[in-house]
Structure 1
Amino acid sequence: MTPRGRTSLIRDGTNNCSLRITDVRYTAQYYPGISEKINAFDLNTVNKNKYIRVIVSGCCETSSCQDWGFKLPYSIDVLKGSCVDVPCKLTYPDDTESFTLFWYKNTLTGYPKIFNSRNPTDVQDKYKGRTSLVGNSPDTCTLRIDNVEEPDEVYPGINEDIYSYVLHNGKVTRLFIIDSPPAPSMTGHEKMRENEAVTVRCSVNHTCASSPPTITWNKPGLEVTTSQEEFPRGLWRINSMIRYIPTYKDDKSQLECEATFPNNQTKRQSITLDIQYKPQNVIISILHDNEGSEGDAKITLECRSQANPFVTKYTWYKIGEAKTLVKMDAQITVQDKTWEKYICTASNDMGTGESAVFSFTTENEENESNNTVLVIGGAAGLVALVILSVVIFCIFKR
């Protein structure tokens, strides 16, 4: 409001309503009128010249308003209930010693403050305790707003003349609300080979660099590092990297990362690990007996293993004074109850795995041991039964 004593009419004619304002300090809009209903703003419904805007040409004795500037994004998508850092860079005259930084809410009337660097309590009630400045650099005017629940339009400034809306043709940052957080993405898992360390990255976008989401992994004991990247329009990305050494035991298992946002909402991303490894757990098993007369019976042995990629070659060897190649196949047929010993190997692009030695001698010894246990156990049971019968007979005989 222009103080009293600084305005007067220029009377050069009866129809002249020209106004003189002395000591102009602020940019403002003026229009003449007779009453609240009879004035240029209300009467000039067709003519766009409803008022005259007086723009000051200098902000102080030694500098112009154009020496000030604010750089901020046009809009930001904010997760409902979360926080947002509104990026802002400030330029100002070299001879500026100190100033108070404000952030305003864009409204049709007035300049409601939502942040005041000198007096934090001198802001609109619903913003008290929710706004703060991010960073300590003199050219940083980045604003943090906590618990954003509704769309908003905000802009920074120094006073009623030096603010982004005037200096940059209506420049404000529009805050749009999204209800669900973005899902994380995972990279680095595309090609894994056993015992070859890889870096797996889990990344998620957010808008609050000062309180980014926390990322956790479902496999304990991993070496974890984090970093942040800044993108245009107030967007940030947090990256969580793990150093992972693949093992065949984890093949086809789930690797999962979970992002927890400032509003406690969570989003997960999981992948099924595809780990290449040489054949493991190579074993020899008896597949089935083949028909034949006693002493001439045959039996089929099969070589099995766990591998990724699939086994491309099985090889059988007879173990004696020397290792003799028998056959290159998953199965072989041998004489039943033979005293010969065998091993098999399984191979793929990652390498070769070998079974333990197989022999019927070991099988027979185990069977004979089991049979002996059965005979002894059966005899002991029979003796116990006889003793119990005698005791019962004696009791009834009395």
Structure 2
Amino acid sequence: MLTVFTLLMLLIIKEGSGNSDRSVTFENPNPCALKGKSVEFRCSYSYREGETVRKTTWYRGKLNGTIWTRVALSDFPSYESRSEYLGDWQHNCSLAIHDLQVNDTGYYYFRFDTDTYGFRSKKSVYLSVTELNVRVCPERVRVGENVTLECKTSCHQLSNTAWFKDGRPISKTMFRAQAEDSGNYVCAIRGRESEQSDSVALDVQYGPLNMSIEVSKLGHLSNSTSVNLTCRATANPAAINYTWYKTTGSSSSSMVHVGSGQVLSLTSVVRPGLYLCQARNSVGENNLTQTVLIADHKDINHFILVGIVVKIILALLLTLIIIWIGRRTCYSAEDKKEQEDDYENTSI
């Protein structure tokens, strides 16, 4: 019994001393790479002198239910065209994986087989595949507030980045927001601008701007003519409240409320007026005035009467001028005849 036990211990010691001559070393056990790029697992292995390597294999860890297993990369169709063994059958076991995808994140192992023994790495390479993450802080601001753009990954601090807004390059990553800064932002590593992050939107809110008032009819209007005044404004969020005021006297500061809504309908106004539109949203408000000239029937009749009188006066003046010119012509002919008669008498 003691002899059998002694033999077993000798076999275990021999096996352990044999494994000490075999090893796998990973130079970068925790690489982190960007999606779409390539990564290299730098790896070396050693074995007993006199052995000959017959096979090398890379594995990926996979959880089947509650059991952790190692599956050869050759058994994954997705790695067939993307994995490249850079090593040899001597001491280099490096591996490259191209066109990285987020689901490539995980544990990787190496195994080599000699003509007498098979050895697999006890440690692993843990690969992290990350994407460029863009952040606009905050994503919703009001005009004049500060905005900061951030571009980072889960495993790298990026400093040399390029930024684009709606496809156009921008230089500032910190600024005070203006209305025109609203849009979609992406980042990229400088030198690889074609590989951009997903976009994130910046929403700059502002009160009513670029206001205008449209008048459905222009000129002097009678009190029986309907007129629509339409108030327009650019705002974010859109203006939801429109209020109309009208002057009550000569001073524009004397205003009375005359209506609400984007369109003000005027149907029986008898005086010229200065109308003010006030547009408002959740950010602020803005005002714009518009003069509308309106005349009542009395004013129109007065204008017509004055026109008739002017026409009559002009006609009378024209008649008098014609008569005066005619008489001047007659007087000139008679004077000429008298002069000719006097000349004849003098000759006799």
Q: TM-score, normalised by structure 1?
A: 0.41
More helix by share: 2
Answer with 1 or 2: which has the greater Rg. 2
Question: TM-score when scaled to structure 2?
Answer: 0.46
